[in-house]
Amino acid sequence: MAHGERIGFEEVEPLDSCVVGSVAVTRSGGRTDKGAGFADLETGIFRELGKIGPKTPMATTIHSRQLVTEPRVIMQAHDSPLDYIATEAELIVTRNCDPRPQGVDWDAVQPDQFASIPFLAELRKRMMRR
């Protein structure tokens, strides 16, 4: 915190685009991460708060060796498909039209995530009151 200021999720301005980390991706925009679900959780939070909309472009950067065939990446309902994939060799425009998640997949949130992200429990309470 020597060079920055902590801000809350709600203080973030709406995002014009979103770059997420990926372990492997497909040319059609499928992506997988390390499996902890934090990238999907963060994008879900931003969707719940209206910071990421249905048309917000999703992008990632990878090495071309991380580009895999379709059957190797299984997209789930809480996964955000990619619109752009940048490698050292090319920029892939996926033209993906799959539906985007609406927000946080509360059933997929683990107890340790609620413990390590105190804001999450409060957000869930607010969203359930709607």
C-alpha separations of 31 from 40, 84, 99 in Å? 11, 11, 14
pLDDT tens for each residue of the chain, 130 residues long: 689 888 888 899 999 999 999 999 999 999 988 766 678 888 988 998 999 998 999 999 999 999 999 888 888 777 889 999 999 999 999 999 988 888 888 888 888 888 888 788 888 887 777 6
Amino acid 6: pLDDT: 84
Residue carrying structure tokens 């990878």? 62
Conformational region of residue 89, where left means phi above 0, alpha means psi within -120 to 50, and beta covers everything else: alpha
3-state helix vs strand vs coil in the chain, percent to 5: 30, 15, 55
